[in-house]
Chain A
């Protein structure tokens, strides 16, 4: 089987692998590189728990063949955490009780970051649509939406509630 080298920049680190067979980006991130924030929920693109940012775009790592993202920059929740860009969002998640079991939380936070990167001042409707690909079975979504609204209010200088 023809193999090739794939290089990625994951959370600022250069990484290289040899791959031949069909391999998902998720398998590399989670099993090879130990970025365990990349959750394996449904592996069908339905739950959003494996969401990552690839070259500035929100995508699902479970449905992405790693061969197709050769040379790309990939950001997982660990990367957002390192750069401290989500500290306010993390605090809002705590304040609004937006995490219960926590399984959806990493994908949710990555999706929120991608949403705010594109639209720093989303309406409630835009937040709902922006998180439509991320399933949460605990919270009923309202605390998560309120956490996003809290961050947006903080960023625009208003009070957080």
Chain B
């Protein structure tokens, strides 16, 4: 298999340890990972680092993930965004529809990883 350029994933989550966990896991999977702890930082990183995919925590202090999703999609509709949340009730919120996927947070990152993989493949990146 030919070595491809590493995909870059931007992780936005206000919890330090969760961010760290995601970073470790996704780096093990062979991704480049950059981190953001709030909405402002996420927007800055997204412009600067041009990630291939963004994971957004919905519940963050200040601007929440759903609002942030809107801005991200407005700026660049091509970057897929996965919403991550501690619970599934946001699935009913219509704003969720503009995201590419919705994953409920779990210590087991299998679902997140496979979702990332699927989206990257289907978006042809």
Q: Are the chains A and B members of one assembly?
A: no
